[in-house]
């Protein structure tokens, strides 16, 4: 191992934040669906994978990376709407394990669909031309695209917060999550609220896949490890907590990045060790509520 300098540590920290941005964005969608609907979406990694495939496909089709970032979450969100309306909705009230098993199976359907459409080898991906190269941060040069990942994640988080906290629809969503019966009494169709939430959650998963595609190998199995990692983030942050998803996502990314610098062989293990330590100290996670899974 070469000399560890302060600049190298700082660059590795920024690398961890960029990686954590992808984790945070993915975990936000997962936490949104669980927090509002109490549905553990085991197809979330598959939606991430579909987003990566569609992002690359739309980029090749249109030649515009920005257009692909708009179109991909819309298409993935529509798939999520169909899943919720026709498959998940009939299972509400039957226990948390029913939609869990359904979405687990649906995830494999999406994997096989991508294999059929794009092949088992996946698709080549590359960094958009306008975001190639490196930027001087004063502590060294850092890939411009990874800086864009940090910025894009912050933008999505800010927009989602404004939507949930500052709009009428956001108020209805929060009220429907806490007391759906009262919302029904007020004449609001709770089913439409849940449909919207599920669609937004899956659209965010698709967007995170499209954003991550230039930094990863795009193949049908790419959603499997990212699903495990996103659940680590969700558990560490607290099931159903959006602030927890952000904080835990960044923390997991930094832990993985720093461990990669000092002990690369232990990088994958490090995030699960982090989860175990957090659960021993605070079983509900950083921002979670005790007994939520009960």
Q: What region does 286 belong to: left with phi over 0, alpha with psi -120 to 50, or beta? A: alpha
Q: What angle do CA 77, 293, 46 make, to 5 degrees?
A: 30
Q: What is the pLDDT of residue 164?
A: 87
Q: What is the pLDDT of residue 294?
A: 47
Average pLDDT over residues 263-285: 94
Mean pLDDT, range 152-168, rounded to an integer: 92
Question: Furthest-apart CA pair in the chain: how many Å?
Answer: 66
- State yes or no: pLDDT of 2 exceeds 70: no
Please state the rounded mean pLDDT for residues 33-38. 86
* pLDDT at 155 (0 to 100): 96
Phi first, then psi, for residue 41 (nearest 5°) are -85, 95
68-82, 194-208, 275-289 — which is least confidently predicted? 275-289
Q: Which helix (H) or strand (E) holds 33?
A: helix 6-37
Report helix angle 144-166 to 242-262, nearest 10: 160
> Using alpha carbons only, what angle is made at residue 134 by residues 137 and 221, rounded to the nearest 5 degrees?
115
Give the angle 234-236-242 at the CA atoms, nearest 5°: 45
**Euclidean distance between CA atoms 155 and 43, whole angstroms:** 25
pLDDT at 39 over 60: yes
Confidence band of 289 (pLDDT split at 50, 70, 90): confident
Contact 20, 252 (CB under 8 A): yes
Average confidence (pLDDT) over 44-48: 97
Chain-wide mean pLDDT for the chain? 91
**Which pLDDT does position 290 carry in this prediction?**
63
* Domains in the chain, CATH or no CATH each: 13-281 (1.10.3470)
């Amino acid at each position: 191992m070469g000399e560890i300098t302060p600049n190298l540590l700082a660059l590795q920290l920024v690398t961890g934040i960029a990686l954590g941005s992808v984790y945070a964005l993915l975990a936000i969608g997962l936490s949104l669906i669980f927090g509002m609907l109490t549905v553990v979406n085991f197809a979330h990694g598959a939606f991430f994978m579909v987003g990566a495939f569609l992002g690359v496909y739309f980029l090749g089709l249109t030649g515009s990376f920005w257009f692909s970032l708009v179109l991909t979450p819309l298409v993935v969100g529509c798939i999520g709407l169909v899943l919720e309306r026709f498959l998940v909705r009939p299972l509400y009230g039957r226990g948390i394990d029913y939609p869990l098993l359904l979405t687990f199976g649906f995830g494999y359907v999406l994997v096989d669909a991508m294999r059929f459409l794009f092949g088992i080898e996946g698709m080549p991906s590359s960094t958009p031309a306008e975001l190639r190269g490196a930027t001087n941060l004063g502590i060294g040069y850092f890939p411009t695209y990874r800086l864009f990942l940090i910025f894009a994640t912050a933008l999505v988080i800010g927009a989602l917060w404004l939507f949930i906290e500052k709009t009428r629809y956001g108020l209805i969503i929060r009220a429907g999550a806490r007391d759906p019966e009262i919302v029904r009494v007020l004449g609001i169709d709770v089913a439409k609220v849940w449909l919207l939430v599920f669609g937004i959650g899956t659209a965010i998963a698709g967007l995170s896949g499209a954003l991550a595609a230039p930094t990863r190998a795009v193949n049908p199995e790419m959603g499997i490890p990212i699903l495990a990692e996103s659940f680590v983030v969700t558990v560490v942050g607290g099931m159903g907590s959006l602030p927890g998803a952000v904080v835990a996502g960044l923390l997991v990314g930094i832990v993985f990045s720093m461990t990669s610098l000092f002990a690369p062989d232990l990088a994958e293990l490090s995030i699960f060790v982090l989860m175990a330590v957090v659960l021993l100290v605070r079983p509900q996670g950083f921002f979670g509520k005790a007994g939520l899974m009960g």
